[in-house]
Amino acid sequence: MRFSFPIRETLPSAESCSECQSLLRSALLGLPGVREVFLEGGAVHLEAAQNPGPRLSEAIQQVRAVHTHQTFQIEGLDCASCARAVEGAADRIPGVRLLELNPLAGRVELAYNPRQSALQAFQRSVERLGYTIRPASSGQRTPPAKPEVRSVALTGGLLALAWVISFTNPALAGWGYTAATLAGGWPLALRALRGIRAGHPFGIHTLVTAAALGAVLIGEAAEAAVVVLLFGVGELLEGWAAERARSGIRALAALTPKTALLLEEGRPREVPAEHLQRGDRVLILPGGRVPADGLVEEGYSALDESPITGESVPVSKGPGDPVYAGSINTESALTVWVERAGQETTLARVLHLVEEAQARKAPTERLVDRFSRYYTPLVMLGAVLVMLLPPLFGGGWQEWFYKGLALLLIGCPCALVISVPAAVSAGLAAGARRGLLVKGGAILETLGQLRTVAFDKTGTLTEGRPQMTDIIPLALPEDELLGRAAAVESGSNHPLGRAILRRAAEAGVRVPPSSGHKTLPGQGATALVEGEPHTVGSPRYAAELAALPPGLLAEVERLEAQGKTAVVVLREATPIGLLAFRDQPRLEAQEALRRLKALGVKSVMLTGDNPQTARAIAGELGLEARAGLLPQEKLHLITTLRKEGKVAMVGDGINDAPALAQADVGVAMGDGTEAALETADAALLTNRLTGVAELIQLSRATLGAIRANIALALGLKAAFLITTLTGATGLWMAILADTGATVLVTANALRLLGFSGKLE
């Protein structure tokens, strides 16, 4: 027998960790009676003699005993140099593997072996580097550190005092400059020493400390003091900019209210929102925020869902309509039945997925990282050569030593390394605010390079709620035909299946008992109805099962010529009737396609529907159509389109999973449904089809910011390299160029947080 369990409920880390998957497979195969284990479609599938449910937790504990995941928040981690020191600390500890590190968010995810005390060793290493580390789930936030502010203020005060004294007593002023250098340089020297001990000798703190110390030794204490002061001010500005970047996501987290009005025997009682459970009933007052995902039970109102789905106009809600945590009730009181609360809400899932996406490095970021690893040592080698070679050929020792110190400061790659992750993080946060979820920097980059967008028809270009227009029985009454078709489609998730069930319920027809339901992707569905095999399928599939009478074929042709979708109902291998449906195009479909055309992106419709219906929809919307496609034919067509350039596939995230996976980018439509969030590379949290064009615009804006940042970082480095070697600028200008560039690239990236989605 086969048994299946959702991976997220079994071992969540196994969704993306190959080591977890391997260990879980081995542990499950060790259970009595388990013959085969495989992971597919977000689930663990077992072939076993009996249900292993009671022993499942035993196998999971075996995995967690030797391999577990945990996410931490590291306070003070806000630059690329800091991140490398933490990476180095993880690399040297056996049993620890650093999975994801996001310096802008200050988050790190680890996989470690609990039996080796590896986690404690990593925490001690991070604390020795001068950072505070805590579990990210603890909900606490360490107050911002103040020593840096005091150090900068003291350095600035001593420097100003020494400058004033220099007009009357230059000798005493020299001691003042030295004191200012010590006040600002001592904390830097300590962090440099920690970095060296952690195996990270080429960090920015080491370079600045060496430059300041060298300047004092050659009698340039004033310049040394200016260097440490400017560096301190730059670090404060970097910290502020990083905090702004984090606030883009933190603002989303703050949308869920802390408390909720729980209804008990009709009376509201205030409780913590995180304590709500499925099945609870909550009261949402006008002006209040929804504390959990659920369904409206009583009342009518309009909800502002813009923070979650990006929908700018309040959405009308009534009994049976879904509501999302974080939405604002704008009119009347609502009673809501809780479906998902706490970390299971759509908003919580979006936050989790965005944080994961921010930690995944984009291709450009990986390229810049590799470049910077060689850049700093090479510049340091160049600085040493500048110090040593010219004096050997008659140059002034002090002059060239000074220039070498300036080169040390130019060698810091902070601005370059932070240029890409800052832009990607801001772009992902901006998208999440507009209901555009992108799973990582690589996907965000690819979206801007798209040449073609392929759309599924049903539920994507159309409303996805086809209405039954015709019932044509052949050998039995109309009611019986509808009832038997509804029996075959019982429990169906396909739009046509739901339309049949909806019509049967409205007509009040008897639906006979059925069993053995089976879905045939792109063809139809089968089941045993009162013990007899029945099929509801496309005319193409029905023709493979039975000889269709000429009269039936003529009816099919007539209906399809009207832009309708026809399906044939068969009992055994005999046609017993014909059903027809019509699905209306989305209101915003034409505008969405117009925006894509304006962006230079080609649109094409891929559908399993008949060519006549597809042509009718395509003609109305003005795009190319490929019809009558089976799932494998869609895959082949996407492969062909990819030869012409990058391709995105847009579908509902459920019935189009293979096609979404085959495309360069799979975009799932869906009103924030869990399936849409989990299936594709990107998801539109509302059914705004114009969101596809917005995704491309966001990507291009992000790529533009990345290119500008890299040009700015490298351009400033190159300019000051030349001016330093020619003697036009000195130490303080070199450090100003470095810290200034870091602040500028971060500020440029933060502009993306204001992304509006308007077509320029």
Secondary structure of 438-505 in the HEC alphabet? ECCHHHHHHHCCEEEEEEEHHHHHECCCCEEEEEEECCCCHHHHHHHHHHHCCCCCCHHHHHHHHHHH
Paired with 453 in beta bridges are 603, 648
Distances in whole angstroms, Cα of residue 71 to Cα of each of 96, 145, 442: 13, 22, 22
**Is 706 within 8 Å of 364 (Cβ atoms)?**
yes
- The Cα-based distances of 544 to 215, 269, 548, 568 in angstroms read 87, 62, 9, 12
Q: What is the torsion angle, in degrees rounded to the nearest 10, for the CA atoms of residue 347, residue 349, residue 354 and residue 360?
A: 180
- The answer to whether 479 and 509 have CB atoms below 8 angstroms apart is yes
Cβ atoms of residues 710 and 420 within 8 Å: yes
Say how many CA atoms lie within 13 Å of 539 toward its Cβ.
23
For residues 147 and 94, give the distance between their C-alpha atoms in angstroms, rounded to a whole number: 33
| 342 DSSP assignment | G
Cβ contact 202:376 at 8 Å:
yes
Q: Report how far residue 138's alpha carbon sits from residue 396's, in angstroms, rounded to the nearest whole number.
A: 58
CA distance 756 to 352: 23
> In this structure, what token pair is assigned to residue 110?
């680890």
DSSP letters of 529-555?
A: ETTEEEEEE-HHHHHHHS---HHHHHH
| Burial grade of 531 (CB within 10 A; 0-12, 13-18, 19 or more) | exposed
Select which of 369, 456, 609, 664 is catalytic: 456
Q: Is 456 a catalytic residue?
A: yes
Kind and range of the H or E element at 292? none
| Residues assigned a catalytic role | 456
